[in-house]
Amino acid sequence: MSQKIGIIFVLILVFTQIASAQNENYDYNSDDSYKNADFYSHSDPTQWDYDKVNWDKVDFSRAELYTSSKFYNNIPDDKYENLDYTRVDYSQIKDHNKIDSAKYFQDMGCSSCSLDRGGQNLKFSKDGITHQQSGDSVTIRNYPAGTRYIGKADRIEVIVPEEINELFIPKEDGLTLNSNGRDIIINGIQVNGELSYRQGEAYLKQEDQAKTYIKAGNEATINDVKISAKESQRRC
């Protein structure tokens, strides 16, 4: 009985210390506060003087950080690799080129996925990546581990690992699937080549007219039938 009382007492003491640390009144104007690691774990990030912040001591796992606009406005470029991208408010990040794609994929549960931005203006979200010019978008959870995403001038190109021979592309995604010269069954249809998808429909684009469904010079084989740009019907 006395042992149980002792355990309860220890637990109460621990929780009291934690609560005390969390409710500690910090001097947000003092340089000494910003030298203390506990300060970054328990103080209010909205009250920080970011000119004094030691970013090597910041606890990036704190949920409170990601609700502070001052935090987003002051993140050093080399600290984007430390962000928890499951907590990030992407609308608060002005330059998405600073987002660390490797850490982003890791936090999204696909550490073996990769992105080649290709110099394109790509936007990130908790769901996936969007091409600002073409409107193409990919939802990361819809694609297998090891998928490569490539930004092109008019699209997002997706290349899945060689061991993947079947794939489903949902209606909410817009992209170009590059099979890399092999057969892949996509949405129940065998495809070999570069084929674009929008709202669940496959199409080939025309390079000189961004809104058409044909792409000059591209071709794909669907169910053993080769389709080229000149054989495809234009659909504006």
Is residue 224 very low, low, confident or very high in pLDDT (cuts 50, 70, 90)?
A: low
State the average pLDDT over residues 222-229: 58
Q: Mean per-residue pLDDT for 191-216? A: 65
Domain assignment present for residue 170? The answer is yes
**Residue 207 within a domain:** yes
Contact indicator for 178, 157 with CB cutoff of 8 Å: yes
Tell me how many helices (H) and strands (E) the chain has.
4, 13
Is residue 133, in this structure, part of any structural domain at all? yes
For residue 193, the model assigns a pLDDT of: 86
pLDDT score of 227: 62
pLDDT average, residue stretch 121-149: 96
Least confident of 121-125, 128-132, 192-196: 192-196
- The verdict on pTM exceeding 0.85 is no
Q: pLDDT at position 187, please?
A: 86
| Conformation bin of residue 50: beta by default, left when phi > 0, alpha when psi is -120 to 50 | alpha
pLDDT at 212 over 50: no
* Residue 57 resides in a domain: no
Query: Which residues are CB-neighbours of 163 under 8 A, at least 6 positions away?
Result: none
- Whether 227 is covered by a domain: the verdict is yes
| Domain annotation covers residue 214 | yes
The count of domains in the chain is 1
In a domain, 87, yes or no: no
Q: Which two tokens stand for residue 178?
A: 């590059």
Supply the range of the domain harboring residue 186.
110-236
Q: What is the dihedral of CA 188, 189, 194, 195, to 10 degrees?
A: -80
Q: Indicate whether 224 belongs to any domain.
A: yes
Tens-place pLDDT, residues 13-71: 544 455 444 446 899 999 999 999 999 999 999 999 999 999 999 999 999 999 999 99
189 contact partners, CB below 8 Å, separation of at least 6: 202, 222, 223
